[in-house]
Structure 1
């Protein structure tokens, strides 16, 4: 009996040890040899040698190239280095931040036993790499091995990151089959041996604060690894990370304004030491709903079981990766943290001069917070416990909010620079307010509206918002979601539901002013849509290619920003217009002709005409004048 108890305890403690520090990992060179000896890698080496003559010399060169790739990729994990990094990061966080707030991490602890965990955080800063590993380590779980860009494999820094669990990959290796084979097998080895993995599905850091479209590469390799060998179930864990003040904020603004992206260097890293004197507020990390890979694969049939994947990607793999991309993006966005900086940014950036009377700002903040509590975006949404006055005091303490004393009441405002920088915090949570703000646009422009008209117009616009902001509602969920938001807007006093009609407050009331103010949250997005539709309508079907339309939209939005003070670089971001143009094709409003031009029928001009329900006349007239009269010289 004692031997049985001892055996059970040994197994139990071994599993607990693996959860905390991971399974035993052999020396880096041993792992490299294991990767090089794998059948897919040997086949790739043979193919590479054959492509260069097939003789002994070509074979040796191919083998040497594969070894060099493996050494370039492989981590050199060292637990003593992890302990050193832990002490350093504890010091760093206390210098940079007022705290790191973590929500719903019990989700990871509950799912970790017996599963291969793949952490998928949003990517907003280089700090992300360090932050998640630090939190996981302090929660007593295995530090993940992180897929890091080769641009971070710098002298000194690269070695430290590698020993902390980073493995490096090149930005693109589609045309290098040998490198792809080595990387695929290295990832497969890490997964099958039970090591937690972390990578960023967006591919790069978001420069605007919006979630970027997920990339297929690492997801496809993970799915292929699982199809090849189901050593243990794989669970994807989406994670939202939000910063009140961003370390790289000014760099991002410069890039959005047209400055070229700088290549990382050790010198630039040393220069960031100056930033340690600044206060960057708090960091928020919220864990989303786990996604079980086997469930996603089985939902598409059982073709994946025992399948071998060659040069042509099978349909089941493409379908599974597409499903994962959408579920992961929705999972990250379904775990927003609505903090004081996010809400203050949301409210003030919707004003023409980024300024408000203190009393009105307090009321607006309290109403927005009340709305988020009455109709939360998802069950995992975290809303600040501060009231409006406390939020203002907090942002003043961070030097984000300025105060101008006045006999009739103080005015609070954002400087021009802070307005641009805080747009990042606003964009982190914009999706959480997109639907109620869209309804506010409709009701503020149409003070007595039939409920059926609200549903119709939301259904018209929502597919574009869903694609741009990764909203969680599918077509079948729209009516229930609209009803929930209408009830919440009624509860905060911004509209009244009377039978089948939706009524705006009296135009002279504070509630109406607040409704109009809240509606401005979505105005830049709706204006971008109208610019695109107006340009297409003005030029006619078959006159523009997607690239030409994207360029024209960028220039028109840039000009409109100069004339009407839409002070945020992402307002004329080409990527957002590119996404909208692609969505027009996907939902059937446009198609690409044989000559590459955009073709459309009468439905597109009719859709553009619906802008009268959401945009004021002066804005529509200004855009129509620009698109019809001032674009000839831009094409």
Structure 2
């Protein structure tokens, strides 16, 4: 219940404001605390103070988005634009302008030379005084003044006020009461919002707009729409008071139409902003399922299912309904509010901070585009973290595609209420399930619901990006080609941690430990780790990718698929487009990488013998990596930590990832016990930034000196494999220019020496620069070792003797063995996806040919040509080790393939 005292105060405020408005017109007393163009009477000041304090009892507004940046010396008059007239909205905006030191809202605005005399700096688009004209009186006066005085400067700042952020329900009986806007004189609704929603009130100041620019744009738009010149009210028409009453009426009518058009534009703008914050209106879950099942597309799919399975259409429809109930979300604003408070507490407990980069580029697109967030997938925390960041910055939460492995008791309903929708991990061959999922995706997209899915399919266990899975991406494209309401834009999103909860689990899984199923017990186990220090977490929103640009590039016409079917296949061009979008998304995620202190420290220490360095050398190496990354950034979107090397070292010690060992000759920095494998995960997050530099360093360090032509040849031949593994964005045709820049960067840092005549050399072997070059050369070695081991296996087994799966499986086994015996148990060699990526690149580049019938791989001498480049990078002992590991006789091959096959069957049986 709202206290009677509050109600009485509100009624007194209504009476007080009426008297203040009338008194304000009679005074011109200037308040020296505000700009000269604003004035306020003592009574007005008293009203602001009393009404503000009264409202402040129940309302604690939260600011969304960024504040407008205004020049303090600028004398431009500022007016705030709200959609609906409301005294409480006026007071709330006035409180916000005071708190954030913006031009005041509830003071008189007087500018006699330009005929401006307003009792407040707020424009209501829907005002009770507008009556039948349906135009804002204040906006009309300001437009007239602007037309009469060309030198008058007025800025409009649109403002959104939300009393609660619950999306409205379609067909809801409480929709009117729960509306975030309330009109005068509805005290009931006013009290409801203040009393019930007061602590969940949000305010967003949008980008300022110049009134004269709006006038010109509106006049030009009318001219283009009508094909004739719209009568533009000239200064002479107003200032000279035409003797013709007909001309005067025409001018007033033209003004009214101009204001009406501008008002409509501003109203549409605020409507769009409101939608980006709340999302579209919701249907309840039951109604949404019904709409899906009885849509033309699913009717068609159920008829086909009934024919093929020999069942009735009703049975097929019930089956489709079951699928829909599996996946469709059940949005609950109450759960969202619980998550908001819980996650605010959790991040405070878990992390030192959540750093967000480049979010404004998302906000700029949200009003007019269908947003598809495509983040990398590093942890289960990703689901909650990304949604939390988006929500806190004032945009509506995306609906998240989650694997049905998360649909477990307690946790599943909570996630489903927090806009997760569940899909099966595998549904190949199930045409009806595919149809229902496609139609549900289509429903979300056509309703302009923001969506989020993890294009890698699952969480990365190694820290590298996984090859993209094209299923959800293809469904998005399929929907857009059936019907396009808003243009689709993909937002690649990089998520980087400094510690992850699942670190130990990931390493165990890479080494063959069975993956644990998600459960409430598992969640509670994770909860025990909350008191540990996890550092900062970083979110970086990459450069958006517009689907329309790809459609133009691949010549895919809009609306080229039937709107009432889900089973129409994509054409060859559209399929190629989907593959290209998938790769570009991964590249843009990597371009938005954050080189945080832990990833930088991991890259340095894991490149050193025994993962330890003298502290002075460690600082120098960190400074070197920072200098290289800053002198020639990997991308404009890449973010580099601002900590200095000593702060980075101290930070790693604080997180208990490294430790300092005191020594009389100088302290030693080394990786803390059992943390080496975990740090390789964070090193791999940024490996792509330094991999070409590392390759160049390795070629020069291992050979002492090398001809530039030889270096170019080797890098050019090996680059496609590194590009495929790490999603490097440099195009092959521009690689030489990139190499020139990177070599110049290394020369500038004294890491290599240009001897002239096309010869590059390492610095003196006893120099500090040489030691730094050796450390820089190390990161690329493990990739090249995997490549050489795979090539050695192929060469020794011969052309046409192994299938693609067999090669990958055997390399995976050999990698595990090599890592345990020779490579300090680094988990990279356990990552099956890395071998898959290399073999796929060999097939794509035509080094391997796959027999369509048997699946066996054949090759020619070029395989050996690639392998011979290993001697320029790998030392002879490692090459000999790799040859020995890859030497398997027919009996060992047969035994290994049988064991792998049995293991896969057992795993598949457990999944079923």
TM-score by structure 1 length? 0.96
Q: Give the direction of change, closer, same or farther, for the CA distance of 1:539–1:68 in structure 2 (3 Å limit).
A: closer
1:392 is aligned to 2:649? yes
> What is the match of residue 304 of structure 2?
47
The offset of 1:128, in angstroms, is 0.5
1:38 is aligned to 2:295? yes
Moved more, 282-291 or 44-53: 44-53
Equivalent of residue 531 in structure 1, options 759, 778, 789: 789
Q: Does the aligned pair in 2 maintain the 1:304–1:316 contact within 8 Å?
A: no
> What is the match of residue 868 of structure 2?
609
The offset of 1:303, in angstroms, is 4.5
Q: Secondary structure at the match of 2:529?
A: helix
The offset of 1:343, in angstroms, is 0.8
Equivalent of residue 163 in structure 1, options 401, 409, 417: 417
Q: Does the aligned pair in 1 maintain the 2:275–2:367 contact within 8 Å?
A: no
Provide the C-alpha distance between the structure 1 equivalents of 2:809 and 2:322, rounded to a whole number of angstroms: 42
The offset of 1:591, in angstroms, is 1.6
> What is the match of residue 396 of structure 2?
142
CA offsets per residue over residues 116-163 of structure 1, 9 Å max, x none? 000000001111000111111111111111111111112222222112
The offset of 1:560, in angstroms, is 2.5
Q: Does the aligned pair in 1 maintain the 2:493–2:592 contact within 8 Å?
A: yes
CA offsets per residue over residues 222-241 of structure 1, 9 Å max, x none? 00100000111000000000
Q: Secondary structure at the match of 1:301?
A: coil
The offset of 1:284, in angstroms, is 0.6
Q: Does the aligned pair in 2 maintain the 1:238–1:290 contact within 8 Å?
A: yes
> What is the match of residue 106 of structure 2?
none
Q: Give the direction of change, closer, same or farther, for the CA distance of 1:11–1:528 in structure 2 (3 Å limit).
A: same
Q: Does the aligned pair in 2 maintain the 1:350–1:518 contact within 8 Å?
A: yes
> What is the match of residue 298 of structure 1?
552
1:575 is aligned to 2:833? yes
Provide the C-alpha distance between the structure 1 equivalents of 2:811 and 2:452, rounded to a whole number of angstroms: 36
RMSD: 1.8
Provide the C-alpha distance between the structure 2 equivalents of 1:550 and 1:9, rounded to a whole number of angstroms: 59
Provide the C-alpha distance between the structure 2 equivalents of 1:184 and 1:83, rounded to a whole number of angstroms: 30
The offset of 1:623, in angstroms, is 2.0
> What is the match of residue 551 of structure 1?
809
Q: Does the aligned pair in 1 maintain the 2:554–2:574 contact within 8 Å?
A: no
The offset of 1:474, in angstroms, is 1.5
Q: Secondary structure at the match of 1:235?
A: strand
How many pairs are equivalent?
A: 632
> What is the match of residue 434 of structure 2?
180
Q: Does the aligned pair in 2 maintain the 1:228–1:307 contact within 8 Å?
A: yes
> What is the match of residue 606 of structure 2?
349
> What is the match of residue 478 of structure 2?
224
> What is the match of residue 371 of structure 2?
117
1:213 is aligned to 2:467? yes
Provide the C-alpha distance between the structure 2 equivalents of 1:561 and 1:323, rounded to a whole number of angstroms: 34
Provide the C-alpha distance between the structure 2 equivalents of 1:200 and 1:466, rounded to a whole number of angstroms: 21
CA offsets per residue over residues 307-342 of structure 1, 9 Å max, x none? 347454421221111111111111111111001100
Provide the C-alpha distance between the structure 2 equivalents of 1:471 and 1:175, rounded to a whole number of angstroms: 34
The offset of 1:271, in angstroms, is 2.1
> What is the match of residue 111 of structure 2?
none
Q: Does the aligned pair in 2 maintain the 1:336–1:429 contact within 8 Å?
A: yes
**Highest Rg: 1 or 2?**
2
1:66 is aligned to 2:320? yes
Higher relative contact order (CA 8 A, sep 6+): 1
CA offsets per residue over residues 196-238 of structure 1, 9 Å max, x none? 1100000111111110111111011100100000111000000
Moved more, 564-573 or 237-246: 564-573
> What is the match of residue 493 of structure 1?
750
Q: Does the aligned pair in 2 maintain the 1:239–1:287 contact within 8 Å?
A: yes
Q: Give the direction of change, closer, same or farther, for the CA distance of 1:305–1:7 in structure 2 (3 Å limit).
A: closer
> What is the match of residue 822 of structure 2?
564
Q: Give the direction of change, closer, same or farther, for the CA distance of 1:74–1:544 in structure 2 (3 Å limit).
A: closer
Provide the C-alpha distance between the structure 2 equivalents of 1:587 and 1:388, rounded to a whole number of angstroms: 42
> What is the match of residue 438 of structure 1?
695
The offset of 1:543, in angstroms, is 3.2
The offset of 1:552, in angstroms, is 3.0
Provide the C-alpha distance between the structure 1 equivalents of 2:513 and 2:305, rounded to a whole number of angstroms: 39
Q: Does the aligned pair in 1 maintain the 2:484–2:559 contact within 8 Å?
A: no
Q: Give the direction of change, closer, same or farther, for the CA distance of 1:43–1:284 in structure 2 (3 Å limit).
A: same
Provide the C-alpha distance between the structure 2 equivalents of 1:170 and 1:555, rounded to a whole number of angstroms: 29
Q: 1:269-308 residue pairs with structure 2 within 5 A?
A: 269-303=523-557, 305-308=559-562
Q: Which ranges of structure 2 fall in alignment gaps of 5 or more residues?
A: 1-132, 136-259, 895-912
> What is the match of residue 600 of structure 1?
859
Provide the C-alpha distance between the structure 2 equivalents of 1:352 and 1:379, rounded to a whole number of angstroms: 33
Q: Give the direction of change, closer, same or farther, for the CA distance of 1:388–1:542 in structure 2 (3 Å limit).
A: same
Q: Give the direction of change, closer, same or farther, for the CA distance of 1:460–1:631 in structure 2 (3 Å limit).
A: farther
Q: Secondary structure at the match of 2:578?
A: helix
Q: Does the aligned pair in 2 maintain the 1:550–1:577 contact within 8 Å?
A: yes
Q: Give the direction of change, closer, same or farther, for the CA distance of 1:300–1:84 in structure 2 (3 Å limit).
A: same
Provide the C-alpha distance between the structure 2 equivalents of 1:562 and 1:270, rounded to a whole number of angstroms: 32
Provide the C-alpha distance between the structure 1 equivalents of 2:591 and 2:778, rounded to a whole number of angstroms: 23
Q: Give the direction of change, closer, same or farther, for the CA distance of 1:234–1:409 in structure 2 (3 Å limit).
A: same
Provide the C-alpha distance between the structure 1 equivalents of 2:888 and 2:275, rounded to a whole number of angstroms: 67
Q: Secondary structure at the match of 2:886?
A: helix
Equivalent of residue 339 in structure 2, options 85, 96, 100: 85
Provide the C-alpha distance between the structure 2 equivalents of 1:272 and 1:430, rounded to a whole number of angstroms: 28
Q: Secondary structure at the match of 2:669?
A: strand
Q: Give the direction of change, closer, same or farther, for the CA distance of 1:411–1:133 in structure 2 (3 Å limit).
A: same
The offset of 1:350, in angstroms, is 1.6
Moved more, 356-365 or 168-177: 168-177
Provide the C-alpha distance between the structure 1 equivalents of 2:569 and 2:281, rounded to a whole number of angstroms: 36
CA offsets per residue over residues 479-506 of structure 1, 9 Å max, x none? 1111111111112211123442222111
The offset of 1:626, in angstroms, is 3.5
Q: Give the direction of change, closer, same or farther, for the CA distance of 1:104–1:132 in structure 2 (3 Å limit).
A: same
